[in-house]
Structure 1
């Protein structure tokens, strides 16, 4: 996928193509009587039609069985299933409405008692299309609260959004057989967006500049949020293990709130440093993005934080437990 759509070729015999063109020229819908009677008793012609149908089945089977690549964002996942669903819908529609395909089906039904359309639809296409529709429904259910989370402007709104999004997500996972190789990265993305929102909100509250009492209140509110997130993600992990086991899927490591905990510890570190020596804390931490909790490998601010903590220790002469966050 991702721009690499597969073209399903439905080869049509020249005799069928000619019959369809002649019927259209007369302004009528093609039917078996538009095929020369001699062809309907010609074994070579009928064998050729069956060979064409076999090529349809092979091409459609490749589309149905095509591996789905991993994704990195909800919007990408939504687009992926939309594109794939569109390909399946296109083939399904062609089988149901194209004059030449229906004429091939009528010829083989009347001469060899073969129900080719039913056979093709029963061979995975209809089931795969139904499955993709379920996936699209699940993603649509998640998209609304996910967008609300991304737009949240305070910690109360963040907490309400995260509870709602995981509630919707878990109910949808029970209702629809969405593969956990997609569900786990989606949950991870939700948590990444959550941490980004928390960081942005906390950054706007200026933890180095607000009064200590205000910073203590911010930290207490953050503790409640992270505790709620811990409970919510624990429920998700339990559901994931249950459904993975029941569906026979491969077990996946599920680590969702590591960065949220780092952010929580970072704010506590700033609070403790300011309690210990507010002036030194402000001076040493002034040039550091205190709320960038990404790893150095991701281009984040953990290394800058460690350096600032070391500088703080050098100034006040006492070590702390916050070097690693």
Structure 2
């Protein structure tokens, strides 16, 4: 290829690989929780994944992300557990109403924004359906001979998926169950009030629980806490005044209106960007930032990553106050 020809080639962000999968098993893991087993429709294998990974389910009109709750050692199938949400915008309602044994569904990923970092000890904290990514993490920690405990809270034992299986497999010394209607809420003061040496905390669950865990962990060493949230920061993607985005690969400058996102602007300019949730929770649209200050509104990047501002989720994050232009590696 000549230098001129190379310069004329577009540099789109690659489109996510997907495959067709069949629902081969379905059961109720708890009240209101559907536990599905998926296999590639062609009889092959899913791409490799590690504990903490999630997949995209491409459903009619929208895409939703669900944590993989089965072992990464078995790539011939994977499992997800989906809570029926009363206020569902279509994802959980479709899964519960339409995905029966034999149904074909398009799967994207897997991807991992919640990977298990090396440590001597782990404290896993799950609220409700936030137990799903913890299952593979516990398996990985157990196989590696690490010290770990799980604190798992929910409304009642009947609503807490996998609670009985975990208790039977690992015992009450390591699996602490907190069904609030029966024995009270998670005791975060006892779990987190005193920082524990050589321990990483992994937590997933509702926003209020994770906010409280963050507060309790303020005195823990930097990097000890790892969270996976169900939703981005309040107001994510909302109005914050217009600004410009410069596409470094072409030099094109785009205007991002107060009621539009960076992702909207670059897509309207004909630039393909890999995206999925459009809510700042999946990490698909992460783009390197070459210049400018970012108002990070995603639920993925750590506080340290947000301070560095080396990347941003263009579906929700914007230019920070006082920054008129961001330069992105697009």
TM-score (normalised: structure 2): 0.22
Greater strand share, structure number: 2
Q: Which one has a bigger Cα radius of gyration? A: 1
TM-score (normalised: structure 1): 0.23
Greater helix share, structure number: 1
